[in-house]
Amino acid sequence: MLRDALLAQRGGLIGWVPVFLSIGIGGYFALRFEPTMLLWCALAALSLALLIAAQVVTVALRPVCLGLALVCAGAGLAKLETMRMAAPVLGFRYYGPVEGRIVAIDRSSSDAVRLTLDRVRLDRMDAARTPDRVRISLHGDQPIRDWRPGQVLILTAHLSPPAGPAEPGGFDFRRFAWFEGIGAVGYTRTPVLRLSESAQGWALRIFAVRMAISGAVQAHLPGEVGAFAAAVITGDRSGMGQGSLLALRASNLAHLLAISGLHMGLLTGFIFMIVRSGLSLWPALALRLPVKKIAAVCALIAGAGYLLLSGGNVATERAYIMVAVMLIAVLLDRRALTLRGVALAATLVLVLHPEALTGPGFQMSFAATTALVVVFRLLRGVHMGPRWFRPAASVIISSAVAGAATAPFAAAHFNQISHYGLVANLVSVPLMGVLVMPAAVLAACLAPFGLAGAGLWLMGFGLRWILFVAATVAGWDGALSHVKSPGPWVLTCLTLGLMWLILWQGRARFAGSIGILAAAVLWVQTPRPAILIADSGGIIGVMGPEGRSLSSATGDSFVTGIWLENDGSPVAQDVAASRPGLTAVSRGAGVRLGQHQVMLVRGKTALAQMQGCGSADILISNQTMAGPRPCLLLDVATLRKTGAIAIDQDDAGRLIVTTASQITGRRPWNDSAPVVIAPLDKP
């Protein structure tokens, strides 16, 4: 029976290739230790043995051997990418002069311009220890506004190593920064000086062209509309204000801002249609030349140009690979959009960028595409009303399917659900296809003649409407709800369950619903920590009857914002600080958890005045404590080693202290030994 079930999968096995690769990649990133060379050699030997076994076992068992070999290959790809991105990481807090060349420009969450610099030089630091890249937010009044790629700057900045998770098990920015090549982050409040200006290398030259186009677009279309247009055309989002970004996210229209599969598909589809229709107007050409294939080649070239113009980031690269697979299928006289094509695109992305697996972009993009392929395959041959209504029906179905497919991943990563996203997309996405993207192509065609303004003027109409829709929908009552962060196994169970449901052939496919149900149950039952402690030692958050209460209305706002979002309750920090749950003490706060007293004391004076630990079993401070005290001390020196801390109580009344370093383990991007604190028991 098992043999028959395995044989029935033949013909659809390519869909499992990215699934098995993902298992290996995800397994590598989930480890809390870095495998030794001996383990890698054993894994390589196992892979070879599986490949040999695939040649001698029965036909039914061959895919099993190949699948296990792909799991090993996925882990190996992740390791190779980790080694390739190895670069120095700043190991301490630095304040002083910084020199570097601009290679990226964007905005921080606080709406400050943020520059990424390479060719970094730090005062009195050996080049071998200096990070290859640093990312610096610019605060205060800066004399230079026209930041351009290739400019060499000098400034005085505060730098620190990339931060670890804001709470144990949370998003690990250190790992993200590792694969971005960023070895330090920081800010400056002093004026930035320009030493020289020269874009060198093809990447910087393309970047300079991008920013020049972005500036020209925003000159023609001032304000948020121009910034939106620049983001759509070049991928430069540095001009977008936080208000517009929040409205787009709340209305589930943020995907229109990033150059993704939608933009790439609309652009290449428009080019394909124009070239094919134009060539078909001449019967002599249409009868002698493969018009459809010529149109596919032109669309492929246009997409490649768009990829280069947008900066070639992972999201746009992923979109181009998916579009390229479809267009190459046209050249080979195959169906353009199939599960095989999606699987091939996913495999290529995972091979090129294994770390993309853990990001929301990869997960949401392929979830939407896979769902659309499956649904429209099921609807093949279904009558959807009169011919004039079919395009509208396709848009409605596409928006509903893509929204439903991406909703759980968006909720897991961003802790929010847009309830009117379908309405917003239905009145916005069609305009992207019939006006915004064609107008962008028109502007590009007219630019050599100095007439790009005509295309941008048309483009502005569509983008103004989209921004209006975003602001309107975001302002509706109940437009947005928030959910708590899921546990570590939720997305894994959900994804594997969905993949099994889609890819498995036969009645056993419905077993995938078990994984989906398990994900829902695990998500609902995911507990939130009773107490959270920031790695600065300056603030704690306690789960109370009205939600998490914070020990301070100011300070560590970035960390506390993440805590409240992960709780599913992103209120303002001062609101959370006014909630009951914490007892005020001299320059600090305290809380009793079971039989244990946890106390936070801020400042040198308050700490010096305290005798022993006071009444605390756990004493937290943003200062370094001198000498032992009769309790568990969590001062700033200790917290720098442990990272953020979560405290809970088990059924026996013991306090379970979980450190961020305990969860992340010792990896290349976190080269420090994990700190484990034993449970605290009180008789």
What sign does the dihedral 403-244-151-92 (CA atoms) show?
negative
pLDDT given at position 198? 66
List the chain domain ranges.
2-84, 94-200, 234-368+389-482, 490-525, 531-664
pLDDT given at position 70? 95
pLDDT at residue 160 tops 90? yes
Alpha-carbon 287 to chain mean position? 48
Domain 94-200 sits in CATH at 2.40.50
What sign does the dihedral 69-72-77-80 (CA atoms) show?
negative
Return d(Cα 651, Cα 487) in angstroms, integer: 20
Q: Which range has highest mean pLDDT (3-7, 43-47, 631-635)?
A: 43-47
What type of residue sits at position 571?
V
Q: Give the confidence band of 683 by pLDDT, cuts at 50, 70, 90.
A: low
Contact in structure between 226 and 220 (CB atoms under 8 Å): yes
pLDDT tens for residues 402-458? 888 888 998 999 898 888 888 888 888 888 878 888 888 888 888 888 888 888 899
Which has more confidence, 390 or 357? 357
The stretch 320-346 carries a mean pLDDT of 82
pLDDT at residue 1 tops 70? no
Return d(Cα 26, Cα 327) in angstroms, integer: 30
Residue 135 in tokens: 């990312």
Does pTM surpass 0.85? yes
What sign does the dihedral 60-61-62-68 (CA atoms) show?
positive
pLDDT given at position 135? 96
pLDDT at residue 241 tops 60? yes
Q: Give the confidence band of 10 by pLDDT, cuts at 50, 70, 90.
A: confident
pLDDT at residue 259 tops 60? yes
Tell me what percent of the chain is helix, strand and coil, each rounded to the nearest 5: 55, 15, 30
The stretch 648-654 carries a mean pLDDT of 88
pLDDT given at position 667? 93
Which has more confidence, 603 or 4? 603
pLDDT at residue 653 tops 90? no
pLDDT given at position 313? 67
The stretch 599-605 carries a mean pLDDT of 87
Q: φ and ψ at 314, to 5 degrees?
A: -60, -40
Residue 15 in tokens: 């869909």
pLDDT at residue 593 tops 70? yes
Distances, alpha carbon 600 to alpha carbons 357, 374, 552, 612, in Å: 39, 54, 11, 14
Return d(Cα 541, Cα 569) in angstroms, integer: 13
pLDDT at residue 383 tops 60? yes
Q: Give the confidence band of 559 by pLDDT, cuts at 50, 70, 90.
A: very high
pLDDT tens for residues 455-493? 889 998 889 999 999 999 988 988 888 999 999 899 999
CA-nearest of 104, 168, 165 to 135 is 104
pLDDT given at position 144? 59
pLDDT at residue 289 tops 60? yes
pLDDT given at position 112? 82
Return d(Cα 107, Cα 105) in angstroms, integer: 7
Q: Which of 372-386, 553-567, 597-611 has the lowest mean pLDDT?
A: 372-386
pLDDT given at position 8? 72
pLDDT at residue 60 tops 80? no
Which has more confidence, 278 or 541? 541
pLDDT tens for residues 181-221? 999 999 999 888 888 876 567 777 778 788 888 888 888 88
The stretch 128-132 carries a mean pLDDT of 92
The stretch 620-633 carries a mean pLDDT of 84
The stretch 260-277 carries a mean pLDDT of 81
Residue 73 in tokens: 């290959």
Write out 386-440 in H/E/C secondary structure: CHHHHHHHHHHHHHHHHHHHHHHHHHHHHCEEECCHHHHHHCCHHHHHHHHHHHH
Return d(Cα 490, Cα 524) in angstroms, integer: 10
Distances, alpha carbon 280 to alpha carbons 265, 288, 334, 467, 543, in Å: 22, 11, 21, 37, 67
pLDDT given at position 199? 59
Q: Give the confidence band of 59 by pLDDT, cuts at 50, 70, 90.
A: confident
Q: Give the confidence band of 30 by pLDDT, cuts at 50, 70, 90.
A: very high
pLDDT at residue 157 tops 90? yes
Contact in structure between 254 and 248 (CB atoms under 8 Å): yes
The stretch 320-325 carries a mean pLDDT of 84
Percent of the chain with pLDDT over 70: 95
**Burial class (CB within 10 angstroms; exposed 0-12, middle 13-18, buried 19+) of 682:** exposed
Which has more confidence, 285 or 119? 119
**Burial class (CB within 10 angstroms; exposed 0-12, middle 13-18, buried 19+) of 264:** buried
Helices of type H across 57-95 = 62-84
pLDDT given at position 145? 66
pLDDT given at position 37? 93
pLDDT at residue 39 tops 80? yes
Which has more confidence, 667 or 435? 667
Residues 317-340 as b or e (16 or more Cβ within 10 Å = b): bbbbbbbbbbbbbbeeeeeebbbb
Q: Which of 6-10, 30-34, 404-408 has the lowest mean pLDDT?
A: 6-10
> Which residues on neighbouring strands pair with residue 99, listed in sequence order?
121, 154
Query: Euclidean distance between the first and final Cα of the chain, in Å?
Result: 58
Percent of the chain with pLDDT over 90: 34
Q: What is the mean pLDDT of the chain?
A: 86
pLDDT tens for residues 62-111? 888 999 999 999 999 999 999 999 999 998 899 999 999 988 888 887 77
